[in-house]
């Protein structure tokens, strides 16, 4: 067993135990590898082990990896500036950091121009942490939804967040936010929250996707 296989096995075991402890099906929790600053060879090794989607923080790095592995999907999990919106829509299958109406409006215009359909996640920040970049507060989400206007080219998948560390209650706050918007939208919305150090708390609160970097790939 390779080092990568061993790390993946440990992560899957953690997901299994967390789901068993809260009565969830482990198949309902997606393990999204974060390949930021990882070599393409390691990404290809992960692909050979059954992973087809990877999270990237930087637009240019994600583009280069996508060019080297055209059969894989890359999703943008890092901040997106309006001047890079066209490039992001062209090269990423999903954008997980839409957090302001002006960006949503720009993406809508470009999606129509480029004739593409891309999954969108709304990045949420309920805590106003100065060390974190991006994220709409609970009130700001209204404006982002209005800017998207249910555009079928940019279907909203759900919410992505990086809650404060060592605060399990923050995951439940996000779960309540999701429930509120599910009632308003009349459909299921996913939650992407939880990383290497807090994935169990996130899963217990209802996370549908955990984003794992170092614990998956190893140190950069």
Give the model confidence (pLDDT) of 67-122 as tens digits: 998 899 999 999 999 999 999 999 999 999 999 999 999 999 999 999 999 999 99
- pLDDT at 49 (0 to 100): 96
pTM of the entire predicted model: 0.94
Using DSSP's 3-state secondary structure scheme, residue 122 falls into: strand
Chain mean pLDDT for the chain? 94
Proportion of the chain above pLDDT 90, given as a percent: 88
- pLDDT at 164 (0 to 100): 85
* Cα atoms in the Cβ-side hemisphere of radius 13 Å centred on 132: 19
**Contacts of residue 213, Cβ cutoff 8 Å, sequence gap at least 6:** 33, 34, 35, 36, 195, 196
Over range 117-134, report the average pLDDT: 84
Over range 125-136, report the average pLDDT: 76
The confidence band for 219, taking pLDDT boundaries of 50, 70 and 90, is confident
Q: Greater confidence, 17 or 137?
A: 17
- pLDDT at 220 (0 to 100): 74
Q: Which domains, and CATH codes, for the chain? A: 3-217 (3.20.20.10)
Whether 1 shows a pLDDT value over 90: the answer reads no
The confidence band for 129, taking pLDDT boundaries of 50, 70 and 90, is low
- Show the DSSP H helices in the chain as ranges: 3-22, 40-48, 59-68, 85-91, 101-114, 140-148, 169-185, 199-205, 214-217
Whether 167 shows a pLDDT value over 90: the answer reads no
**Long-range contacts, 191-197 (Cβ 8 Å, 24+):** 191/158, 191/159, 191/161, 192/32, 192/96, 192/121, 192/158, 192/159, 192/160, 192/161, 193/159, 193/160, 193/161, 193/162, 193/163, 195/162, 197/165
Whether 28 shows a pLDDT value over 70: the answer reads yes
Contact 75, 94 (CB under 8 A): yes
- pLDDT at 132 (0 to 100): 63
């Amino acid at each position: 067993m390779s080092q990568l296989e061993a790390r993946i096995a440990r992560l899957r075991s953690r997901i299994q135990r967390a789901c068993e402890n809260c009565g969830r099906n482990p198949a309902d929790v997606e393990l999204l590898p974060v390949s930021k600053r990882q070599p393409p060879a390691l990404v290809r090794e992960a692909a050979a082990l059954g992973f087809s989607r990877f999270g990237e923080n930087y637009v240019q790095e994600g583009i280069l990896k996508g060019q080297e592995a055209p059969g894989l999907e890359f999703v943008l999990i890092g901040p997106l500036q309006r001047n890079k919106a066209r490039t992001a829509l062209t090269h990423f299958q999903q954008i997980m950091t839409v957090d302001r109406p002006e960006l949503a409006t720009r993406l809508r215009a470009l999606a129509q121009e480029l004739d593409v359909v891309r999954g969108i996640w709304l990045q949420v920040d309920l805590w106003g942490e100065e060390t974190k970049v991006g994220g709409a507060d609970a009130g700001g989400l209204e404006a982002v939804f209005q800017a998207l206007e249910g555009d079928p080219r940019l279907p909203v998948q759900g919410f992505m967040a990086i809650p404060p560390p060592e605060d399990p209650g923050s995951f439940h706050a996000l779960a309540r936010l999701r429930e509120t918007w599910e009632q308003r939208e009349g459909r299921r919305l996913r939650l992407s929250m939880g990383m290497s150090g807090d994935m169990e708390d996130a899963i217990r609160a209802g996370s549908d996707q955990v984003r794992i970097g170092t614990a998956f790939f190893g140190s950069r």
